[in-house]
A = this chain, B = another copy of it.
């Protein structure tokens, strides 16, 4: 456990998951439905034994916090619910940092979307696919199975009366060169497992004969970019792992590991209460975690992070040679009823105001006032 982590596991029951990696995208403007597609009309809904629906068709795109909050508050008697997402599970993202060092098993953070559907079994449906286009005029969404196993025709269409777009957003690199190529994000299960695998590999390689002291230190220099909850939690997990497990498993390199946290603002956890922020900073200082505040990452290469001090404009490049960069994950917070066709920009800025949906459109992203992220998406 980390000094800052207080949340408990969402669910520890066994789950059978595909851990799909496909990005979820809703394409540009309405393009109409190709004539050849098997349009799923009201009568062909009947995957369940439920009577032909007189209810309004509610179609939800996505399976994250927004979609789950919506599913938890929907009355299956009023709506005929379908969910489409390329990921067939909900992921309890705040505990993801623990997966990177093995504190928490990935599967315990996961809940199958099918188990979250409202009503009796068969009342609502889930389809593992990506939504590729929305035809708002004809109230139709074209979907496509983008997984490895596909049927003869991987494309299909779904009609809706009401549409919820809760597809989330990709990690924001803020346009920093080299991040996509050389850094590891921490947003999905696969990201966390990638970090775990890489960390093990680095420790194993550093423990081999003939590796110089300098090379060991370079290899085991971990740089975390982002002093928000994800970055701070990850740095804390890393520290616990280094003090509790590494001395037993990798005694020859236990003193060679260093953790550096790069924060753009002038203190970490700057959106939290000042006392929490101070406590974390002091704890990190005692723990030997090097916190660089007021610093901007200019670029990332295979072996180095180039950091600029925002006050002095001085660049540092030599100090951090081997990089394992951890980028701040962004919560998916987008949800909207009666959506128009929208184009989510890959790196659109997050809407920060709390205004009504009609006014909350920022850079192509939509946000529903009732769904502001995990605080309001209580998940048992």
Q: Are A18 and B201 neighbours in the complex by a CB distance under 8 Å?
A: yes
Counting CB contacts under 8 A, is A198 at the interface? yes
Q: How many copies does the complex hold?
A: 2
Closest residue on chain B to residue A88 by CB atoms: B204
Interface-located stretch among A54-62, A68-76, A150-158, A363-371 = A150-158
Closest residue on chain B to residue A40 by CB atoms: B209
Closest residue on chain B to residue A129 by CB atoms: B208
Name A147's contact: one of B126, B156, B201, B248 (CB within 8 Å). B201
Q: Are A201 and B148 neighbours in the complex by a CB distance under 8 Å?
A: yes
Counting CB contacts under 8 A, is A274 at the interface? no
Counting CB contacts under 8 A, is A107 at the interface? yes
Q: Are A121 and B248 neighbours in the complex by a CB distance under 8 Å?
A: yes
Residues of A within 8 Å of B, CB-based: how many? 62
Task: List 20 interface pairs A-B (beta carbons < 8 Å), by A numbering.
Answer: A14-B105, A15-B102, A16-B101, A16-B196, A16-B241, A18-B200, A18-B201, A19-B197, A47-B209, A47-B252, A121-B248, A126-B207, A128-B204, A128-B207, A129-B208, A145-B204, A149-B201, A150-B205, A152-B215, A153-B210
Q: Are A127 and B207 neighbours in the complex by a CB distance under 8 Å?
A: yes
Counting CB contacts under 8 A, is A44 at the interface? yes
Counting CB contacts under 8 A, is A170 at the interface? no
- B contact residues around A107 at 8 Å (CB): 102, 105
Counting CB contacts under 8 A, is A38 at the interface? yes
Min CB gap A325→B, angstroms? 15
Distance in angstroms between the alpha carbons of A306 and B271 in the assembled complex: 63
Counting CB contacts under 8 A, is A176 at the interface? no
Counting CB contacts under 8 A, is A48 at the interface? yes
Counting CB contacts under 8 A, is A219 at the interface? yes
Counting CB contacts under 8 A, is A94 at the interface? no
Counting CB contacts under 8 A, is A175 at the interface? no
Q: Give the secondary structure class of A's interface.
A: loop
Q: Are B151 and A219 neighbours in the complex by a CB distance under 8 Å?
A: yes
Distance in angstroms between the alpha carbons of A306 and B16 in the assembled complex: 30
User: In this complex, which of A128, A151, A215 has the most chain B Cβ atoms within 10 angstroms of its Cβ?
Assistant: A151
* Known contacts A18-B197, A105-B107, A149-B219; A156 and B249 CB within 8 A of each other: no
Closest residue on chain B to residue A245 by CB atoms: B16
- B contact residues around A122 at 8 Å (CB): 251
Counting CB contacts under 8 A, is A35 at the interface? no
Name A205's contact: one of B16, B48, B102, B145 (CB within 8 Å). B145
Counting CB contacts under 8 A, is A211 at the interface? yes
Min CB gap A272→B, angstroms? 29
- B contact residues around A245 at 8 Å (CB): 16
Min CB gap A247→B, angstroms? 9
- B contact residues around A127 at 8 Å (CB): 207-209
- B contact residues around A14 at 8 Å (CB): 102-103, 105
Q: Are B197 and A128 neighbours in the complex by a CB distance under 8 Å?
A: no
Min CB gap A147→B, angstroms? 5
* Known contacts A151-B205, A205-B147; A40 and B210 CB within 8 A of each other: yes
Counting CB contacts under 8 A, is A112 at the interface? yes
Counting CB contacts under 8 A, is A11 at the interface? no
Counting CB contacts under 8 A, is A114 at the interface? yes
Distance in angstroms between the alpha carbons of A127 and B245 in the assembled complex: 17
- B contact residues around A209 at 8 Å (CB): 38, 40, 44, 47, 127, 156, 158
Q: Are B200 and A16 neighbours in the complex by a CB distance under 8 Å?
A: yes
